[in-house]
Structure 1
């Protein structure tokens, strides 16, 4: 695993906080799948940093999934943040090769921008 600071690192930290909220817990109940997201600094497949977004437990951890295989695995360059922010359509990212998906395409389609929701209004 690379020891590189990625733009996407902060996004995963915010996701941890969101999944601990009431809205995040509802999302966890609704989706109930496990995703592994591999982020590469420059080129997919090289020096990747992996994160597990476990929407069964409502957790985000750094590292590869160790519970068998994730329901879906995404690979991105560090511009993953564009997809998460809604600035790049996930389908377009996939078609252009900016994003690669392994395992269940059906599970991958359930990984929506709701997972990156802004903190709830106070």
Structure 2
């Protein structure tokens, strides 16, 4: 819900315009690939939806909810998380490299 509100702000709209990609997040409670909740952050339309993307997202990220929270709050760098195996990525590597914590609301808003 916080992401939806963030996408409606001027900062969210600027990020959507700058990035212009579709990311799918598969978030698991404990283990990647098990009982995942799926969310789509569509930075082409500036929308956030629950459920798989209809079509092919530019990049799909799979992680645990604790690693997702660390990335969303800026406590963990996405590139470092990938190197450590905390994130699994499918799709375009160049699109994945444009994924930064800037797309999330600031921690005070979470």
TM-score (norm: length of structure 1): 0.82
Q: Secondary structure at the match of 1:45?
A: coil
Query: Structure 1: how far apart are the matches of 2:64 and 2:101?
Result: 18
Query: Structure 2: how far apart are the matches of 1:96 and 1:25?
Result: 31
Is 1:32 paired with 2:20? yes
Equivalent of 1:113, from 93, 101, 104?
A: 101
Is 1:77 paired with 2:64? yes
For residue 39 of structure 1, report the CA deviation from its aligned partner: 0.2
Query: Structure 2: how far apart are the matches of 1:99 and 1:108?
Result: 11
Query: Structure 1: how far apart are the matches of 2:99 and 2:9?
Result: 18
Aligned residue pairs total: 106
Q: Which residue of 2 aligns with 1:54?
A: 42
Q: Where do 4+ consecutive residues of structure 1 move more than 6 Å?
A: none
1:42-75 Cα offsets, whole Å, 9 max, x none, are 1101110000000011000000001x11000000
Q: Is there any run of 5+ residues in structure 2 with no aligned partner, and where?
A: none
For residue 22 of structure 1, report the CA deviation from its aligned partner: 1.2
1:13-28 aligned within 5 A? 13-28=1-16
Asked if 1 retains the 8 angstrom alpha-carbon contact of 2:2 and 2:105, the reply is: no
Q: Which residue of 2 aligns with 1:9?
A: none
Query: Structure 2: how far apart are the matches of 1:103 and 1:78?
Result: 21
Q: Is there any run of 5+ residues in structure 1 with no aligned partner, and where?
A: 1-12
Q: Secondary structure at the match of 1:69?
A: coil
For residue 117 of structure 1, report the CA deviation from its aligned partner: 3.5
For residue 17 of structure 1, report the CA deviation from its aligned partner: 0.6
**Cα RMSD, aligned residues only:** 1.2
